[in-house]
Structure 1
Amino acid sequence: MKAIVYQKFGNTEVLQIAEQVKPIITSDQVLIRIKAFSINPMDWKIRRGDMKLMSGSKFPKNTGADFAGIIENTGDSVGHLKVGDEVFGVVKNLMKEGVSAEYVAVPASLVWKKPDKISFAQAASLPVVGTAAVTAFEKMGNITSQTKILINGATGGFGMILLQLLKQRGAQITAVTSPKGIEYAKKWGASTVIDYTKEDVLSQKITYDIVVDLSGKMGYKAAKEIMKTRSIFINPTPEPVEIPLAVLGNIFRSKKHIVLLSNPATAYTEVLLDEVSKGLDIGINAKFPFSQYKEAYQYAEKGGYVGKVVIEINNPVIK
């Protein structure tokens, strides 16, 4: 089978197509013929070596973590899924495994049936950012109509889902986004939208109960200036050193620095599937064919787009 791999850390130029052996499943796994997989910022952070303490330095490495496809085979102990089911899922170890191939073998516990109302591309876009959004939502605690929330970088995949979750609680949401994302931020639930090309949210005399930095460009130190005395800063893109420092620092401060670490699981996915049944909008900004994998990653890494970027595989059945 064909797979997108890299043999060393680097930019998109290290990516290449290679032939790999079709996976052999264990009793608790399913073999999936991939139809689409999504691109997440974690993909290039791992590929560049930014996360090598957690990802390790063993090559070759595949990229991608969440996917959608069709079940080709099931392990002996798998009872809730069958050959031919349209499904979506995620790898067990987001730091060390990848799905950028025509086939992937994963535990059946991390695979769910795809709702008929969404496409393979949309389903592939759910697990990583969806789990992160649900986790962030839980970390926020009791949210009311008086809660003031700032989401910086609000219209990527993560923000897209988080905005829609928060909208249901009636919170006062301020979204910071590019000009392209203004109308989407409003549609997904923001009550106030700031165009970062025209306004600097840090210079405004407004304070917030919760600040979520999805862009990774604000940082806790700057965010403290716009946080209320008792408030939280949610950081989903921490540098490795920030994880222990945030935990230790929170002992002594009222403005908490919450490092967001999330792992896809059935409990989170059930929340997302319920939201899909109620009309969750899963916006796909761009879809690239498998052959244009470098262009896809180059496009995604530039940022500034709304929603998700997906690579699709129109693969024949490989025996």
Structure 2
Amino acid sequence: MKAIAYQKFGNTEVLQTVKETKPSIQPNQVLIKVKAVSINPMDWKIRKGEMKLMSGSKFPKHTGADFAGIVEAVGPEVTHLKKGDAVFGVVKNLMKEGALAEYVAVSASLVWKKPEHISFAQAASIPVVGTAAATALQKMGTIKPQTKILVNGATGGFGMFLLQLLKQKGADVTAVSSTKGLAYAQKWGASNVIDYTKVDVLEESITYDIVVDLSGKMGYANAKRIMKPKSLFLNPIPQPIDIPTSLINNLFTGKKHVVILSSPSSKIIDTLRSAIDKDLQIEVNKVFPFEQTMEAYQYAEKGGYVGKIVVEIG
């Protein structure tokens, strides 16, 4: 089968199309004929060596975490899926595995039936950013109509889910986005929108109960300027040093730095499926064929787009 792999850390040029053996499955696994794989920032953080303490430096490495496709075979212990089912899911260890291949073998506990009314490209966009958004929502605690929330970098894949989940909670959300993302932020539920090309939110006089930095560019040190005395800064793109320093700093301030570490589970996916049934929209910005995987990552890594980028296979 064809797969995408790389033999060293680096930029998109290290990505190669390789021939590999079609994977076999364990009793608790399913074999998926992959139809679509979505792209996430973690893919290139790992590929560039930024996460090597966790990913290790053994090659070859593969890429792509969440996928959608058709069940090709099921292990004898699997009871909730059968051959021919349209499904979506995520690899167990994105530091070690990758879904960008014609076939992928994964634990059946990380595969779910695809909602019928969405495409494979949309389904492949759910697990990573959807789980992160649902986890961020949990970290926020009780949200009241008067809770003021700022979402910085609000119209990528994570923001797309988070804004709509917050809308279903009735939250008062200010979204910071590029000019072309403003209409989407409003459609997805933002009460207020700020165009970062025209306004520096850090220079505004408004303070917030919760600040979520999805761009990775604001940072906790800057965000404190627009946080209320008792407030939360949610960091879903932490550097390794952020985890211990946030725990220490939080002992001495009411402006808490909360690192978001998320892992897909059936409970979270059920929450997302319910939200999708209530008309949560999944915007796929652009779809690339498998042969243009390098171009897909080049496009994604430039940023500035709305929604998700997807690679389709076959």
Q: TM-score range by the shorter chain?
A: over 0.9
Q: Corresponding residue for 2:61?
A: 61
Structure 1, unmatched stretches of 5+, are: 315-319
Q: Corresponding residue for 1:159?
A: 159
Question: What do you get for the CA RMSD once the two structures are aligned?
Answer: 0.6
Q: Corresponding residue for 2:240?
A: 240
Q: TM-score, normalised by structure 2?
A: 0.99
Distance 2:278 2:234 in 1: 27
Distance 1:96 1:179 in 2: 37
Distance 2:15 2:207 in 1: 43
Distance 1:78 1:242 in 2: 39
Post-superposition offset of 1:94: 2.1
| 2:231 equivalent to 1:221 | no
Runs of 4+ in 1 over 2 A off after TM superposition: none
Distance 1:263 1:198 in 2: 36
Summarize the alignment of residues 80-229 of structure 1 with structure 2, pairs less than 5 Å apart.
80-229=80-229
Q: Deviations over 1:113-155 (max 9, x none)?
A: 0011000000000000000000000000010110000000000
Percent identity over the alignment?
A: 69
The amino acid of 2:279's aligned partner reads: G
44-53 vs 165-174, which deviates more?
165-174
Post-superposition offset of 1:169: 2.1
The amino acid of 1:150's aligned partner reads: L
Distance 1:179 1:279 in 2: 25
Post-superposition offset of 1:96: 1.5
Post-superposition offset of 1:246: 0.8
The amino acid of 2:305's aligned partner reads: Y
Post-superposition offset of 1:65: 0.3
SS at match of 1:104: strand
Post-superposition offset of 1:278: 1.3
Q: Corresponding residue for 1:273?
A: 273
The amino acid of 2:238's aligned partner reads: P
The amino acid of 2:170's aligned partner reads: G
Post-superposition offset of 1:60: 0.5
Q: Corresponding residue for 1:317?
A: none
Distance 1:12 1:265 in 2: 30
Q: Corresponding residue for 1:70?
A: 70
139-148 vs 166-175, which deviates more?
166-175
SS at match of 2:105: strand
Structure 2, unmatched stretches of 5+, are: none
Q: Corresponding residue for 1:292?
A: 292
| 2:39 equivalent to 1:27 | no
Q: TM-score, normalised by structure 1?
A: 0.98
248-257 vs 119-128, which deviates more?
248-257
The amino acid of 1:4's aligned partner reads: I
